[in-house]
Chains A and B, each alone.
Chain A
Amino acid sequence: DGGITQSPKYLFRKEGQNVTLSCEQNLNHDAMYWYRQDPGQGLRLIYYSQIVNDFQKGDIAEGYSVSREKKESFPLTVTSAQKNPTAFYLCASSIEGLAREQFFGPGTRLTVL
């Protein structure tokens, strides 16, 4: 089955630690995205990538980093510089030029203790 997988589903980390969230897709999509969702705030874009080895900052990129070494993979690192990292993180992908039709993964809930 084609789709997007995110792992793990739940993640707990101590304050000050970096943590990497995984996102893999087998839809053959060129574009991939990372969003953060907080209660009552909808989804906010962290980073997006339209092609391998290229990515752009979204609205809230501070404290996050990404890489895009393979078409199917777009990992997100939450660094210790992110002041409020506890949130629900969603990865999405789309055909290039069709950002209006994004497919989302199941999400990773990160809790920083």
Chain B
Amino acid sequence: QKEVEQDPGPLSVPEGAIVSLNCTYSNSAFQYFMWYRQYSRKGPELLMYTYSSGNKEDGRFTAQVDKSSKYISLFIRDSQPSDSATYLCAKAHNAGGTSYGKLTFGQGTILTVHP
């Protein structure tokens, strides 16, 4: 079983829709969870990260972690065509507030927001 699983989609929504992107993870150690956005033929950029549980909001984006179900989600409100990209979830091991070593990525979900 992969440490982080993500539905690759593709996902197509109309402009203005609420988008829900999801990942599951298999390791229960205390961890940080990240969401990256990657436009075609570009490097990923960090959108936001959360600790093992709870929500974090940044503008139209909300990241959520459900420890009981080992589920991490990214919600995009009022989606725009400029949100069309591949969204990658990732986790990093937490050691006393720091995080070392590798990130483990999901496969990425391709999102298209059409006008």
Contacts and interface: CB of A to CB of B under 8 A. Distances in A.
A, B co-complexed = yes
Contact of B44 (A44, A58, A90): A90
Given A97-B99, A104-B44, 17 more contacts: A33-B102, A40-B8, A41-B107, A42-B6, A42-B108, A43-B105, A48-B102, A50-B100, A56-B101, A90-B43, A96-B100, A99-B92, A100-B92, A100-B99, A100-B103, A104-B43, A106-B43
6 contacts: A42-B106, A50-B100, A99-B99, A100-B92, A101-B49, A102-B46
Nearest to B102: A45
Interface in B3-35: 4, 6, 8, 32, 34
B45 A104 contact: yes
B1 interface: no
Contact of A42 (B34, B101, B105): B105
B88 interface: yes
A99 B100 contact: yes
Interface residues of A, number: 28
Interface in B37-52: 41-46, 49
Interface of B: 4, 6, 8, 32, 34, 36, 41-46, 49, 88, 90, 92, 98-103, 105-108
A92 B4 CA distance: 20
A1 interface: no
A45 B43 contact: no
Nearest to B94: A100
Nearest to A6: B43
B98 A43 contact: no
Given A42-B88, A103-B46, A98 B99 contact: yes
